[in-house]
Amino acid sequence: MRDFTYHMPTRVVFGEGCLDTLKELCQAFDGKALIVTGSESARRIGALDRALAQLPDAAVFDGVQENPTTDTCERGAALCREKDCAFVVAIGGGSPMDAAKAIAVLVRNSGPCADYLGTDRVKNGALPIVAVPTTAGTGSEVTPYAVLVDTADASKKTICSNHIFPTIAVLDPRLTVSMPSSITANTGLDALSQAMEGMVAVHATPKGDVLALETCRIVKKWLPRAVADGTDIEARAQMLYAAMLSGCVIAQSRTTLVHGMGYYFTLEYGVAHGLANALFLTPVFQHNARCLPGKVAAIADALGAPCEPTPDAARKAITQAIHGLLETVRMSPAAKDAGVDSDRLDLFAREIYSNKGRLKNQPGDLSLEDVTRFFWKAYEG
Residues of this chain that bind ligand NAP (CB under 6 A): 38-42, 45, 66-67, 92-95, 98, 134-135, 137-138, 140, 143, 145-147, 175-176, 178-179, 183, 187, 190, 273-274
Nearest approach, Cβ of residue 94 and ligand NAP (Å): 2
What's the start-to-end Cα distance of the chain, in Å? 37
The number of residues in the chain equals: 381
**Could you tell me if 135 and 182 are in contact, meaning their C-beta atoms sit under 8 angstroms apart?**
no
Which CB atom, from 201 or from 300, has the smaller least distance to ligand NAP? 201
Residue 97 CB, shortest distance to ligand NAP, in Å, is 7
User: CB–CB of 379/342 below 8 Å?
Assistant: yes
Whether 148 contacts 117, CB under 8 Å = yes
The strand pairing partners of 92, in sequence order, are 133
Element (H, E) at 115: none
Cβ closest to ligand NAP, residue 273 vs residue 295: 273
45-50 CB contacts, 8 Å cutoff, 24+ apart:
45/134, 45/175, 45/178, 47/19, 47/91, 47/132, 47/134, 47/175, 48/91, 50/19, 50/20, 50/22
Whether residue 281 contacts residue 258, with contact meaning beta carbons closer than 8 Å, is answered with yes
Q: CB of residue 62 vs ligand NAP: minimum separation in angstroms?
A: 8
- Rounded least distance, CB 309 to ligand NAP, Å: 29
Instruction: Give the C-alpha separation, 378 to 1, whole Å.
Output: 34
- Smallest separation, CB 350 to ligand NAP (Å): 23
Q: Which is nearer to ligand NAP, 103 or 317 (CB)?
A: 103
- C-beta closer to ligand NAP: residue 100 or 335: 100
CB of 204 to ligand NAP, least distance (A): 16
Please count the other Cβ atoms lying within 10 Å of the Cβ belonging to residue 8. 15
Identity of the residue, 176 or 319, whose beta carbon is nearer to ligand NAP in the bound complex: 176
Nearest to 339 by CA among 283, 266, 285: 266
β-bridge mates for residue 307, sequence order: none
**Cα–Cα distance for residue pair 142/119, rounded to 1 Å:** 17
Nearer to ligand NAP, 117 or 300 (CB): 117
Q: Rank residues 158 and 286 by Cβ distance to ligand NAP and give the closer one.
A: 158
Cβ closest to ligand NAP, residue 55 vs residue 129: 129
E strands present in 214-264: none
CB of 92 to ligand NAP, least distance (A): 4
Which CB sits closer to ligand NAP, 38 or 363?
Answer: 38
Residues 6+ apart with CB under 8 A from 356: none
Positive or negative, the Cα torsion across 233, 234, 240, 243?
negative
Q: To the nearest whole angstrom, how small is the minimum distance from the Cβ of residue 269 to ligand NAP?
A: 15
Between 134 and 319, CB nearer to ligand NAP:
134
Residue 173 C-beta: closest distance to ligand NAP, Å: 10
For residue 65, the minimal CB distance to ligand NAP (Å) is 7
CA distance 125 to 123: 6
Nearest Cα to Cα of residue 159 among 201, 117, 221, 222: 117
Cα gap 242→78, rounded to integer Å: 35
- Residues near 217 by beta carbon (within 8 Å), at least 6 away in sequence: 302, 303
